[in-house]
């Protein structure tokens, strides 16, 4: 079996401070889209900061409202948050590959320090599903 994916992309920014930004993931019609795949990547050009990306899926034990803010996630006295962190410059994408029951239509992004310049974020998201191998025989193959 093989997976199929319909990707959507948003470019957000520029971020100029550490304000929390909750982003609703929408389709081309502007309707909120329940996603099981989300990737968040920074394109900042300077600084040594990092960012966090968090989600609030309906079946998660710790909903977003009960999690600490990303600014507090640097300390040892904090609870965990459902998400990931990466460097603003030269870091890896924060990826969420969710179980189908944990789909979410939003992601929350926050820069942890103001030590960065030109911070844009690339958010790729969508729905991944298993393709139907019986339909492969119906696709045109050329001659």
Q: Which tokens sit at 75?
A: 């300390």
pLDDT digits (tens, 9 = 90+) for 39-56: 999 988 888 888 989 887
Write down the architecture of domain 3-131 according to CATH.
Sandwich (2.60)
In contact, 54 and 70? CB cutoff 8 Å: yes
Length of the chain: 143
Looking at residue 81, its pLDDT comes to 73
Where are the chain's structural domains? Answer: 3-131
**What is the C-alpha to C-alpha distance for residues 43 and 22, in angstroms, rounded to an integer?**
18
- pLDDT exceeds cutoff 50 at 142: no
Label residue 102 by pLDDT band (50, 70, 90).
Answer: confident
**What is the C-alpha to C-alpha distance for residues 11 and 43, in angstroms, rounded to an integer?**
10
Average pLDDT over residues 85-109: 90
Q: What's the whole-model pTM score?
A: 0.80
Q: Which tokens sit at 62?
A: 């710790």
Of 16, 19, 33, nearest in space to 123 by CA: 33
């Amino acid at each position: 079996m093989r997976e199929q994916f319909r990707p959507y992309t948003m470019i957000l920014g520029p971020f100029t401070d550490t304000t929390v930004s909750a982003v609703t993931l929408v389709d081309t019609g502007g309707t909120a889209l329940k996603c099981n795949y989300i990737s968040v990547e920074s394109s900042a050009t300077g600084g040594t900061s990092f960012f966090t990306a968090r989600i609030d899926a309906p079946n998660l034990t710790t909903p977003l409202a009960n999690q600490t803010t990303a600014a507090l996630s640097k300390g040892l006295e904090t609870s965990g948050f459902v998400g990931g962190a990466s460097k603003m410059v030269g870091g890896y994408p924060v990826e969420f590959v969710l179980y189908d029951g944990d789909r979410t239509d939003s992601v929350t992004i926050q820069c942890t320090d103001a030590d960065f310049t030109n911070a844009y974020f690339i958010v790729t998201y969508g729905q991944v599903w298993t393709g139907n191998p019986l339909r492969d025989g119906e696709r045109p193959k050329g001659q």
